[in-house]
Amino acid sequence: MKILIVDDSKTMRMIVKRTLRQAGYGDAEILEANNGLEGLESVKTSVPNLVLCDWNMPEMNGLEFLKAVNAEGIKVNFGFVTSEGTAEMRQIAAENGALFLISKPFTADTFKSELGGILS
C-alpha cells in the first residue's frame, strides 16, 4: 500500500507519518510532496492508494490539486488533513470527490476512523 502525504510543512508531514504508524499503517510505503504540483506528478508516477493533502499550500493548493487529479481522470482515494475544517470547506471537498476532511489537531483514532473503510 502506498500513501502520499502532500503538505508544504515538513514538520506536518512527519506528524502525519507518525500518526499513520500509530493508527496501524506502519507497513505502508509513505511518499511525500511539498505542494499540489509535486503531488500531481507523484500521483501520476507512483499511483498511491491514498492521498492525504493539506488545503493551503503554495504553487497549487489542495483543492486545485484535487481538481487537477479529477481532470486527469485519475482515480485515487483522496482526503484532506488541514488546520481548517469549516462546514463550507467540507462541502467543497466532498463535492470535488474528497472522501474526508480531518481537521488538525488529530489523533491516531481519528485516522483509524476515517481511513478504516478506505484502506481495509
The predicted-structure confidence for 29-44, as pLDDT tens digits, reads as follows: 999 999 999 999 999 9
Q: Which three cell numbers stand for residue 6?
A: 502532500
Domain ranges for the chain: 2-119
Exposed, middle or buried, 66 (CB in 10 Å: 0-12/13-18/19+)?
A: buried
Tell me how far CA of residue 108 lies from CA of 14, 97, 119, in angstroms: 14, 23, 15
The structural architecture, per CATH, of the domain 2-119 is: 3-Layer(aba) Sandwich (3.40)
What average pLDDT does range 41-56 have in this prediction?
Answer: 96
Residue range 63-83, pLDDT digits in tens: 999 999 999 999 999 999 998
Give the global pTM: 0.95
Phi first, then psi, for residue 79 (nearest 5°) are -145, 160
Give, in order, the Cα–Cα distances in Å from 46 to each of 13, 18, 22. Answer: 18, 21, 24
